[in-house]
Structure 1
Amino acid sequence: MTATTGRPTAPAGQRWRTAPAPSFAHLIRMSDDTGLFEHARHAIVRREHGYCTDDVARGLVVTSRQPEPTEKVVQLSERYLAFLTHAQHADGAFHNRLGHDRRWTDAPGLGDWWGRALWGLGTAAARSPAAWVREEALVAFSRGATRRSPARHAMAFAGLGAAEVLRRHPGHVAAAALLRDAATVVGGPGPDPQWPWPGQQLSYANAALAEVVIAASQLRHGGPPLDTGLRMLSWLWDVQLRHGRLSVVPVGGWRRGTDRLRYDQQPIEVAAFADACATAATVSGDPDWETGIRQAIGWFLGENDVGTPMWDPETGGGYDGLTAHGPNLNQGAESTLALVSTLQYAQRWS
C-alpha cells in the first residue's frame, strides 16, 4: 500500500463473503429499560458495573444506522436516546457513569463520553426512521455542540456526530463549526514521512482521528485538504497490516521508537478502521478503501493473528479482546457494538 493511495499490499481474505447479518440479540440481552449495561462475564450481564454514556452512545450509533430496523431495534434507539438526554447537563456536558441504583457517580464533563454522545445523537438526528427521535436527538446534539474539549479523541468523536448532522442539515452552523474545530484539534500528519501522524503515539480508536479529518475536508469553508486525512488513514492501514490481515495496535498503544506489542487487540480498533475506510471510500470515490472494510469484517470472522473468530454465533456477542491464546470470551457492550458496527458494512460492500 502506498502512503498516498491506501492500496493494500495483499488482497483481503474471503471470509467476508460469508459474513452474517448483524445480530442485535446480545444488545437486547445487555439492555434494560434504563440503558445498556457495560460489562458481561461471558454472555451474562454484570449489573453491578452499571451503565456508561460511552457505550449507550455507541449503541445509538449502530441502531440508528441499521437499514430497515426491526421494532426491537427502534425500541433500543428510543431507550438509548432517553439515557443520553438524561445524562446531559443544561450546559451541554454529559455524565458518564450511572450505577445500577440509577445514581450518577460522576460530574458532567467533556471527556470521550461527551464526544461519543454527540456522535450518537448526530447519527440519530440524521438517520433514525422515527421523526420524533430525529427531532429530539437534534435538540440534544445542538446543546452539546456549543462545548469544546481539549482532547483529540473527544473532539474526533464529536466531529463525527457533526458530520452526520451536516449530511441531513447542511446549513447547521453549530455542526459545521464543531466539525471544523474537531479537525483542527486532531491536527494533520507530522513532517516525518515515516510517522505521518499527529502526536507520537497510537492509542485507541486511532482511525477515528483520520476519519474526522477526512469528513471535515467536505466543509464548504475552512476544511482541511482531503489528502491530509487520506494520508493519515493510509499510513495507519499500512502499519496495521500483517501478512495481508489486520493486526491492530493493541490496548497498550504504541509509542514511536518503541517495540510494538501484538496483543491484546481490541475490537474497537477494528470497528473504527472500518468506519474510517467507509468514509474514505464515500468521500474520495476510491473503491480500494473497500478492501480495508473487508479486512475488518474478516478480522471478526477469524482472519486475524490467531486465526480465531472474534464473536459467538450462538449469542450474537463480540469477544472482548484478541490475546495470544485466543479470544477473551467475555462479551461486553463495547466489543459487541464493534462487531455489529463492522458487520453492518458486510451487505453494502459484499
Structure 2
Amino acid sequence: MSKQLKVLFIGTYVPKECGIATFTFDLLNSVSGEDNDVHCEVIALNDPSETYDYPEEVVFQIQRDKIEDYYRAADFINQSDIDIVCLQHEFGLFWGNAGDYIFALLSGINKPVISTMHTIIQKPEPEYRVSTEKLIRYSEKLIVMSQTAVEMLKDVYKAPEDKIELIFHGVPDCPFNNCSKYKKKLNLRGTPLVLTFGLLSQNKGIESMLDALPEVISQYPDLVYLVLGATHPVIKKNFGEEYRQYLQNKVSELGLEKNVVFHDKFVEKEELCDYILASDIYVSPYLSREQIVSGALTYAIGMGKAIVSTPYWYAQEMLSDSRGLLVDFGDTTGFRESLLHLIENPEECDNMRKKAYDFGRKMTWKNVGKQYNTVFTRALKNYSAYSTMKKFNFLPNLLPEVKLDYLKLLTDDVGIIQHTNLGVPARHYGYSTDDVGRALVALTQLIDNQKKAEELWKLITTYLSFLEHAQTDTGHFHNFMSYKREFLDEKGSEDTLGRAIYGLGHVVSCPYLSKNIRTLAHTLISRAGVEMEKLIYPRAKAYTMCGLYEMLRTGVDADEFEVVFNSRRDAVKSIDSLISKDTFESIFINHANSLVDLYEANRKEDWNWFEPTVTYSNAKLSESLLLAYNYTKDRTYRKVGLATLDFLTEIQWKGDFFDMVGNEGWYSYNGEKPIFDQQPIEAGYLTQAYVSAYEIVRDRKYLELARYSFEYFLGRNRLQTVMYDYSTGAVCDGLNRDGMNCNQGAESIICFLMALSSLNKHINKALSTILQSRVSDEVNDETLQKRKSFLSANQVE
C-alpha cells in the first residue's frame, strides 16, 4: 500500500474571521477530501492575545509577534512525520520587517515548502523585495492564482519558471441558478439585488458605487445595494468604524437609506454562498490596481454572477473574454452606465453569467485540491534526501586559515581590550583576566615549532605580564582593569581564577617557549595553590583541571624550574617554593571527584547533567572529566564525561546544525530551552570537547561533531548566519532574536581560535587511523571512501 501523504498547512485558520483563514480551511478540505491517502494538519497564526477554540487539525499555534514561536514551530515540524509544508504567504500575516519573522521558521525546517502567494508587489520597497526573494529561495514551489502573478514573479523577482505553478483560487461547486430561491431563503429584497462582500476597508471603494446609485435608482427604485461584511479587524483596531460611518453618512446625504443595506457581520461559507446566489449583480469597486487575487471576485465568477469591477490586475485577467464589465477606478459614471446596461440587457447579462460560470468550473475546490495534490506529490518526489543540507551549501570545504590580525588589533601593551563597537575596540570597557587566560590557551595551541613560538612571543609575554600584574597577594586574580590601568575589583570570580590557571598551564607545558616564560607561569600557578584548593563552583574547577592537566600530562614538575625560580625569586611576588607535581595532582583529582559527585546528585533518567540547569561554558565540564580519565585511566571519569557530552549533543544538535542553549534564562530540567542569546563560546568549547573525546575514545562521530560545532561560526546555525569575518579574522558576539550581534569582542575570536587549532590538529591525526584501519581490513572500501571524503573536506594533508 502507498504511504499516506502528510501535509502541514501554515496560515490563519477558522474560526478566525479573515479571508486567508477561510482559504486555508477550504484548501485543506479540498486536499484531504480529494484523496483518502492525504492527511492534513495546521499550524495556526494568532494575533497578540488572541485565543481560539480550534478544530483538532490545528496541532500548533504561533503568536505572530513572538519570534520564539516561529523557531519552536520549526522544531515541531522537524520532529514530526510531516512530508510537506504548504505555507499561506501574505506579508501582513507575519510579524517583523515585511513579515520576515516567517523566515525564522522556514530557515530551520528540513521539509519541502510549497508557498501559496496571496500578494505579489510589482514595485516593491527594498524590504519587500528582500522578503519575496527569500521566500522564493526557501520554497520548492510557488503557487499563484493568476497568469499576471506568474509573469510578475518571473519579470520582477527573476523566479525560476519551473518553481511557479498556476492554480486558481478555489470556489464552491454550486449550480447555475435563478436568484429568487435564495432571496426568499434569506428574506432579501431587491430587483435587482446588487452585492459587494468581504471585510470592509478603505480600499474597497464602495463610495464610488454609492455615488453612482442615485441616477440608477431614479429609474429602478426597487434596486437594493447590499454591502455584506464586518470591518477588517486590523482597520477596526486602529481606526474603529470610521470608514463604515463615512459610508453610512454618504448614504444619508444621497438619500439612499431605502436602497442601501449594510450587513455588519462575518458570514460563514455556507451563508455567504447563499448571499452570492441570491444576488443579481456583483460589484468589486477596489481602488488599487495592485490586487493580485480576490477571493470575493473568484466566488462571484464561480457562481455565475454578472460582474462589474474596477480593472485591478486579477479582475482584468479573470473578467476577460466578456466574463464581466470593467470600469475605471473611481469612475462613478462608468459604474452607473454598467449597472444600467446589465439591467436593461437581460439576455446579454445571462450570457455573461454563463461565461463566468463555465470558466469557474476549473476553479471548484475539488479541482483545486487535485492540482495541489499533484504539486505536492511532484515536489516531494523531487525533494532530495540531501536537501536538508542545501541550506548550508555556502559552507567552505576547507577550514579557515589561522588569522591573528584581529586579536592583534584588540591587543595593546597592557592586554586585550574586552569589547568592541561594531568591530572597533571600545577602550572604555578595559581589559579582563578571563580573556587573557583563554588567549594564552589559543596561542600555545598554535605553537608546534620554534619559529611559531618566536612569532607569538610578543603576544604571549604581554598576556603573561598582565596575569602577573593581576595576581593578588592571596594568589587569586583581579579580573577587570580599566583603560586607565586601574583594577576595578578586589578579586575576580572563581571562574576568573580557573581561566587564568587554564592559560598558565598551557604556557608551562609548551616546550617551544623559553624556560623563563614557563617558570614564571609555573610560579603564578603555585602562588594560586591555596585558592585552587578552595574552589566551590564547578566551572572554575573544570577550567583549573584543564590547566593542570596540561602540566601533568607532560610530566612537568617543580624541579625543572626550581633553579630559575631561585635565581630570580626577587623578580616575582613572594612565594616560598614552587608546588610539586603531587600537590597539583591531588587538586586535580579532588576536583574531578567533586564533579562526579555533582553529576550523581543531579542526574535523572532523562537529564545527564551536573546541575539542574544547563547554563554557560557547558562543554568545559565534560571535557575536564575526559582529560581526568586520560590522565588517571579511571573509567568513572570517562563514563560521566561522555554521558554529559552526549547529553549536550542531544539537547543542542538539530540534525544539521547546532542550536546552542541561549542565556535568556538558561535551560532548566522540565523547562523550555531558551533559543537566544546564543554565545559563540559554547560552539568553541563544544568543538574542543568533541576533539578531546575523539582523541581519547577514537569514536569518529566526535570528530564529525567537532567539525559541525566549529561550522557554527561559519553559518551552520539556526539563522544560517556567518559569524566569522574571513578578511579581518573577527567573530561576531552571538545570535540574538533580532539576528546577529555585530559587535566583535575578544571572547568570540579567542574561542574561535581555540576551536580552530584543536580541530586542525586532530583532523590531521585522524588520517593515519583511517589508513591503518584499511591495512587491517577493519573497514570496507565504501566506508573508507566516505571517511576519506570527510577528511579531505577538512584539510587533511
Task: Give TM-score, length-normalised by structure 2.
Answer: 0.41
Q: Distance in 2 between matches of 1:175 and 1:110?
A: 21
Q: Corresponding residue for 2:756?
A: 343
Find 2:510's aligned residue among 127, 131, 143: 127
Structure with higher RCO (Cα < 8 A, 6+ apart): 1
Q: Corresponding residue for 1:143?
A: 527
Q: Is the 8 A contact 1:251 1:265 kept in 2?
A: yes
Q: Does 1:156 align with 2:555?
A: no
Q: Corresponding residue for 1:76?
A: 459
What code does the residue aligned with 2:719 have? V
Find 1:42's aligned residue among 392, 407, 422: 422
Query: In the TM superposition, what is the alpha-carbon distance from 1:278 to its structure 2 partner?
Result: 1.4
Give the helix-richer structure, 1 or 2: 2
Q: Distance in 2 between matches of 1:114 and 1:16?
A: 37
Q: Corresponding residue for 1:5?
A: none
Note the 1:209-224 alignment, pairs <5 A: 209-220=621-632, 224=636
Q: Distance in 1 between matches of 2:754 and 2:634?
A: 30
What code does the residue aligned with 1:24 have? L
What code does the residue aligned with 1:302 have? G
Query: In the TM superposition, what is the alpha-carbon distance from 1:47 to its structure 2 partner?
Result: 0.7
Find 1:91's aligned residue among 467, 474, 478: 474
Which stretches in structure 1 are left out of the alignment for 5+ residues?
A: 1-9
Q: Distance in 1 between matches of 2:743 and 2:493?
A: 29
What code does the residue aligned with 2:460 have? S
Find 2:742's aligned residue among 322, 329, 335: 329
Q: Distance in 1 between matches of 2:520 and 2:610?
A: 35
Q: Corresponding residue for 2:110?
A: none
Q: Corresponding residue for 1:314?
A: 727
Partner-residue secondary structure (3-state), 2:473: coil
What code does the residue aligned with 2:523 have? V
Give the RMSD, CA atoms, in angstroms.
Answer: 2.2
Q: Does 1:198 align with 2:610?
A: yes
Q: Is the 8 A contact 1:271 1:338 kept in 2?
A: yes
Query: In the TM superposition, what is the alpha-carbon distance from 1:261 to its structure 2 partner?
Result: 1.9
Q: Does 1:261 align with 2:662?
A: no
Q: Does 1:51 align with 2:460?
A: no
Q: Corresponding residue for 1:113?
A: 496
Q: Distance in 1 between matches of 2:654 and 2:447?
A: 33
Relative to 1, partners in 2 of residues 1:47 and 1:128: Cα closer, same or farther, differing over 3 Å? farther
Matched residues, percent identical? Answer: 28
What code does the residue aligned with 2:472 have? H
Deviation per residue, 1:56-99 (Å, 9 max, x gap): 11111101111343644221111111111111123221111111
Deviation per residue, 1:314-346 (Å, 9 max, x gap): 221110001244321101000111111122234
Q: Is the 8 A contact 1:51 1:99 kept in 2?
A: yes
Relative to 1, partners in 2 of residues 1:315 and 1:208: Cα closer, same or farther, differing over 3 Å? same
Q: Distance in 2 between matches of 1:195 and 1:16?
A: 35
Q: Distance in 2 between matches of 1:26 and 1:119?
A: 22
Relative to 1, partners in 2 of residues 1:18 and 1:326: Cα closer, same or farther, differing over 3 Å? farther
Relative to 1, partners in 2 of residues 1:222 and 1:158: Cα closer, same or farther, differing over 3 Å? same
Query: In the TM superposition, what is the alpha-carbon distance from 1:221 to its structure 2 partner?
Result: 8.4
Q: Distance in 2 between matches of 1:50 and 1:61?
A: 21
Find 1:238's aligned residue among 650, 653, 657: 650
Q: Is the 8 A contact 2:507 2:513 kept in 1?
A: no
Paired residue total? 341
Query: In the TM superposition, what is the alpha-carbon distance from 1:182 to its structure 2 partner?
Result: 2.1
Deviation per residue, 1:263-285 (Å, 9 max, x gap): 21100101111111111112222
Q: Corresponding residue for 1:17?
A: 397
Q: Is the 8 A contact 2:688 2:759 kept in 1?
A: no
Q: Does 1:285 align with 2:668?
A: no
Q: Is the 8 A contact 1:19 1:346 kept in 2?
A: no
Task: Give TM-score, length-normalised by structure 1.
Answer: 0.91
Q: Is the 8 A contact 1:30 1:37 kept in 2?
A: yes
Find 2:587's aligned residue among 150, 162, 178: 178
Q: Is the 8 A contact 2:592 2:637 kept in 1?
A: no
Query: In the TM superposition, what is the alpha-carbon distance from 1:149 to its structure 2 partner?
Result: 1.4
Q: Does 1:103 align with 2:486?
A: yes
Q: Distance in 2 between matches of 1:164 and 1:223?
A: 20
Q: Distance in 2 between matches of 1:139 and 1:272?
A: 27
Q: Choose 137-146 or 87-96, whichever is displaced more.
A: 137-146
Partner-residue secondary structure (3-state), 1:327: strand
Q: Corresponding residue for 1:7?
A: none
Q: Distance in 2 between matches of 1:82 and 1:280?
A: 33
Relative to 1, partners in 2 of residues 1:150 and 1:332: Cα closer, same or farther, differing over 3 Å? same
Q: Corresponding residue for 1:297?
A: 710
Partner-residue secondary structure (3-state), 1:311: coil
Q: Distance in 2 between matches of 1:185 and 1:203?
A: 18
Q: Choose 305-314 or 105-114, whichever is displaced more.
A: 105-114
Partner-residue secondary structure (3-state), 1:242: coil
Query: In the TM superposition, what is the alpha-carbon distance from 1:289 to its structure 2 partner?
Result: 0.9
Q: Distance in 2 between matches of 1:79 and 1:67?
A: 16
Relative to 1, partners in 2 of residues 1:222 and 1:177: Cα closer, same or farther, differing over 3 Å? farther
Q: Distance in 2 between matches of 1:145 and 1:306?
A: 44
What code does the residue aligned with 1:299 have? Y
Deviation per residue, 1:96-138 (Å, 9 max, x gap): 1111111111113552110000000001111262122222111
Q: Is the 8 A contact 2:509 2:556 kept in 1?
A: no
What code does the residue aligned with 1:62 have? A
Q: Distance in 1 between matches of 2:630 and 2:453?
A: 32
Q: Distance in 1 between matches of 2:473 and 2:582?
A: 20
Q: Choose 289-298 or 60-69, whichever is displaced more.
A: 60-69
Relative to 1, partners in 2 of residues 1:297 and 1:219: Cα closer, same or farther, differing over 3 Å? closer
What code does the residue aligned with 1:135 have? T
Q: Is the 8 A contact 1:16 1:298 kept in 2?
A: no
Partner-residue secondary structure (3-state), 1:322: strand
Partner-residue secondary structure (3-state), 2:509: helix
Relative to 1, partners in 2 of residues 1:251 and 1:22: Cα closer, same or farther, differing over 3 Å? farther
Q: Is the 8 A contact 2:663 2:674 kept in 1?
A: no
Q: Distance in 2 between matches of 1:262 and 1:301?
A: 19
Deviation per residue, 1:150-194 (Å, 9 max, x gap): 111111111110111112126622321222122233333544220
Q: Choose 336-345 or 158-167, whichever is displaced more.
A: 336-345
Which stretches in structure 2 are left out of the alignment for 5+ residues?
A: 1-385, 558-580, 764-793
What code does the residue aligned with 1:144 have? A
Q: Is the 8 A contact 1:94 1:114 kept in 2?
A: yes
What code does the residue aligned with 1:58 have? R
Q: Corresponding residue for 1:4?
A: none
What code does the residue aligned with 1:88 have? Q
Relative to 1, partners in 2 of residues 1:40 and 1:307: Cα closer, same or farther, differing over 3 Å? same
